[in-house]
Chains A and B, each alone.
Chain A
Amino acid sequence: MDFDLTEEQRLLQDSVARLLGDKYGFEQRKGYMKSPDGWSREIWAQFAELGLLGLPFGEDEGGFGGGPVETLLVAEQIGRFITLEPWLSTVVIGGGFLRHGASQELRNELVPQVAAGEMLLAFAQVERQSRYDLFDVTTTAKKDGSSWVINGRKGYVVHGDSADRLIVTARVAGGQRDLKGIGVFLVDAKDPGVQRRGYRTVDGQRAAEIELSNVRALAVLGNPEDGLPLVDQVVDESIAALAGEAVGAMQAAHDMTIDYMKTRQQFGRPIGSFQALQHRAADMLVALEQSRSMSYFAAMSAAERNPLERRKAMASVKVQIGRSARFVGQQSIQLHGGIAMTIEYACGHYFKRLTVNDSMFGDADHYVRYLAETGGLVAAA
């Protein structure tokens, strides 16, 4: 057991922190948000230069050769600066599907492009009725000769508006909520059958509502008859990254709050001298440290071979971090007072990111239910 980082990991962490420290001040971020993509192509190119876009791919494929710990470290910095670029969608989620589901030929084609920053990916999974159930799919895929033709509608496709390729879940067989019969397909986002309506989400990121009409898939990822285990695996790895992002954002919100408590004067003294507020801040620190611990547990569990154990581990991560993110986010606003209610102040933006982070791939309540139904973490004796 060893929580120390290797020299290489420390270097990675420092270089991301330095880049974002220079280029991702709160005012700069506002500028990126207003640009046509809603994020910065310039930063994206620098991510590529640092190796962040090839992070999870093997060095033999032109990647960085990073594992869950490297992903966690980068995600934490992303949360600290609440960046807007499609890193999670392209590298963690998209990259996950390529690593675990793509043929060698497809990997040879796409991995170098992803690593170079020339290929953006987005995961089209959510549907109107599905809420957080990954298996609740009505979009269909029908075999036509040697290819698959896809029809359906996907919502909240994060960074779907700027993506070059979409990764789409679609039903090849069975009923709407059957676990079997779900395939994962790679689709050209510029196919004439793909209609995208991009929009800004509450946390300042981008997403799209996407209609797929007789779209011929470019490729199948994994087993087209039984793709759910692949989806689960990629989502679980992404939950580990989201955990890191949440910890980074909680840390930033907490730091900001403590700084403010030391400077804001009322009744002739800093508000941080009041015990009621001190105890709240201490409770926020407890929540933050418990979350940091869980983000390590997530990184450790991302490579777990038993799928049920892995799912349960990630469910517990979602529950703990979701609850903590809510508490730290809400209380950061509360302890600041009115100033944090203004859109000009960074704290609220962290709160919004944390709130959205909790709901990605299912919120804490969803995963409490899942864990409760699957027997929890401790066996009876």
Chain B
Amino acid sequence: MDLRFTDEEIAFRQEVRDFIAKELPAETRERMVAGRSPTKQQVVDWQRKLNARGWAAPEWPKEAGGPGWTLAQRYIFREELQQAPAPSPLGFNINMCGPVIIEFGTEEQKQKYLPRMLNLDDWWCQGFSEPGAGSDLAGLKTRAVREGDHYVVNGQKTWTTLAQHADWIFLLVRTDPNAKKQEGISFLLCDMKTPGITVRPIITIEGGHEVNEVFFDDVKVPAENLVGEENRGWDCAKFLLGNERFGQARVGASRERIRRLKVIAQESMDGGRPLMEDPDFRRKVTEIEVELKALEMTVMRVIATESKRKDKKPDPATSVLKIKGTEIQQMCSELLMKAAGPYAWADGDPDEEDGSNDVDVAPDWAFGLAGVYFNWRKQSIYGGSNEIQRNIMAKAFLGL
């Protein structure tokens, strides 16, 4: 048992850190330090820089255009991006649809889609959830009927994150309404410019436009855009959701938020002294730091065991990642908001594209913190709600 990073891994971390320091535009970084999401253009520009360096898809194998890294390197890379903070490679492209195409796609599909995914020439979005299919995803109803060399898609997707930016959408559709619910589903790729697609914004509680409804009205999707076999789309979905869980710990991101919290709590006065000097507040911060340290060690365990594992059975520790990762991020966002005191309450301007207010009504460091708090309540809901995670744990690990 050796719990340290190797010298090569430490050198790799420095290489990543140097690259970020040199290449990350200051405006992108500053925007993210302030707790705001990077703009579409900032995400695209950054991913192209990563792609030029061969780093756009940390988890992909070399033959698919990835760097061929070990699990430890991938972890280090993502941690460095998160704590910079810099945008992560676009998850829909790199962690969701890309791996599905690599695993289940045809050679033509790989040639056509993967290079454009890497360079963010195409922005992808995820068409999974529906009004009637949230936690019970396999209950989805969007229908695809094969007609000649096309599928005709009708139905509605919801919670489609950043569909307003998207060029393509990957979709779960029902191709056999008579089969058992998991067995009649297929995985399709669809150009967002196809006639019959309507994107309607959903404005979330903090006022931001992140998610959308996407309507399909007789949308014709070429049959060659089917990934894997017809009616076997649930295999793709399970594979994709398994990948998603691994990235939800976000230790680097939480560490960056705690650093920021300590800066803000130094600026914010309480009882005539900086809030950070208040023992109660310090203890609250400490409790989160301890949880985060434990989570970091759990991530290391998962990396160490998964890289040796031959079967695909996940370690029980992986279930901890989603639950604890999201709880910690939510606690960070809450303490950041609390730290700002009354200046947390200046609302975002709904007319601004990113939903934030540029009027000088509050100190810069306080701005938008409440919005992030309200917005981040989503974390324990998406990606399989934390209650669903507990169901999985009870069934898969405890045999209940």
Contacts and interface: CB of A to CB of B under 8 A. Distances in A.
B359 interface: no
Nearest to A319: B290
Contacts of B295: 290, 293
Given A258-B400, A378-B259, A316 B1 contact: no
A304 to B, nearest CB: 11
The B interface is mostly helix, strand or loop, or mixed, namely: helix
Interface string B1-18: 111111001000000000
A381 B259 contact: yes
B72 interface: yes
A379 B261 CA distance: 10
Contacts of A316: 289-290, 293-294
A9 B1 contact: yes
A87 B187 CA distance: 59
A1 B394 contact: no
Contact of B293 (A69, A320, A379): A320
B1 A286 contact: no
A297 B301 contact: no
Contacts of A378: 255, 258-259, 262, 289, 292
A90 B19 CA distance: 52
A319 B287 contact: yes
A261 B266 CA distance: 49
Nearest to A321: B294
B400 A273 contact: yes
Given A371-B289, A380-B262, A293 B298 contact: yes
The A interface is mostly helix, strand or loop, or mixed, namely: helix
B263 interface: yes
Q: Classify chain B: how many residues form its interface, as a range.
A: 35 or more
B400 A272 contact: yes
B297 A296 contact: yes
A308 interface: no
Nearest to B327: A286
B131 interface: no
A1 B304 contact: yes
Interface residues of A, number: 45
B121 to A, nearest CB: 35
Given A258-B399, A316-B290, A283 B390 contact: yes
B262 A281 contact: no
Contacts of A343: none
Contacts of A278: 390-391, 394, 398, 400
- Of the candidates B3, B72, B300, the one having the most CB atoms from chain A within 10 angstroms of its own CB is B3
Given A319-B287, A376-B289, A377-B290, A294 B1 contact: no
A290 B400 contact: no
Given A278-B400, A281-B394, A283-B390, 19 more contacts: A1-B2, A3-B1, A4-B308, A5-B1, A6-B1, A258-B400, A273-B400, A278-B390, A279-B387, A290-B298, A293-B295, A293-B301, A294-B293, A296-B3, A296-B301, A320-B294, A372-B286, A377-B290, A377-B292
Interface of B: 1-6, 9, 72, 255, 258-260, 262-263, 266, 276, 279, 282-283, 285-287, 289-295, 297-298, 300-301, 303-305, 308, 316-317, 319-320, 323-324, 387, 389-391, 393-394, 397-400
